[in-house]
């Protein structure tokens, strides 16, 4: 199973943001155990670094990003993704970039807390909690 994480989920994990941290951490543990694959847009690394650096030292943030990179794959933003996002019906350009990265990386599910921003998605959109509930039903 390949999951694409929106920036907000990566921030939940690396910023340890309650109450969302726990579910993101559970999925990250599954990725660490190689039970699934997390894919992240290159843009998310920049966004997360920017946000977390306001609250933590630059070195601490870089260390978190280095550790997260071990359990995730990065989807590059390229001209094709930018063209698709610019010509899409998405109201939020960043959401469009994330969505087209998810498609390009052949992700099975896009994990986000902003599901309403992905109304016309061609892949399932779930919160981390919804995914975990679905995952638990699948493995039991």
What distance lies between CA 39 and its chain's CA centroid?
7
What's the mean pLDDT in 44-72? Answer: 97
pLDDT tens track for 84-131: 999 999 999 999 999 999 999 999 999 999 999 998 899 999 999 999
Q: Where are the domains of the chain?
A: 2-139
The verdict on domain 2-139 having CATH code 3.40.50.1010 is: yes
Cβ(31)–Cβ(38) below 8 Å: yes
Dist CA 80 CA 64 (whole Å): 30
Q: How far apart are CA 93 and CA 91, in angstroms?
A: 6
Residues 68-75, mean pLDDT to the nearest whole number: 97
Compute the distance between CA of residue 30 and CA of residue 35 in angstroms, rounded to an integer: 5
């Amino acid at each position: 199973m390949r999951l694409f994480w929106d920036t907000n989920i990566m921030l939940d994990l690396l910023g340890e943001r309650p109450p969302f941290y726990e579910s993101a951490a559970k999925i990250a543990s599954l990725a660490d155990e190689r039970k699934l694959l997390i894919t992240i847009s290159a843009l998310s690394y920049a966004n997360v670094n920017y946000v977390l650096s306001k609250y933590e030292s630059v070195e601490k943030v870089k260390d978190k990003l280095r550790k997260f990179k071990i359990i995730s794959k990065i989807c590059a933003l390229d001209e094709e993704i930018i063209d698709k996002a610019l010509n899409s019906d998405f109201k939020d350009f960043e959401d469009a970039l994330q969505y087209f990265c998810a498609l390009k990386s052949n992700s099975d599910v896009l994990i986000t807390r902003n599901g309403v921003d992905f109304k016309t998605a061609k892949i399932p959109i779930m919160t981390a909690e919804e995914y975990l509930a679905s995952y638990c039903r699948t493995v039991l």
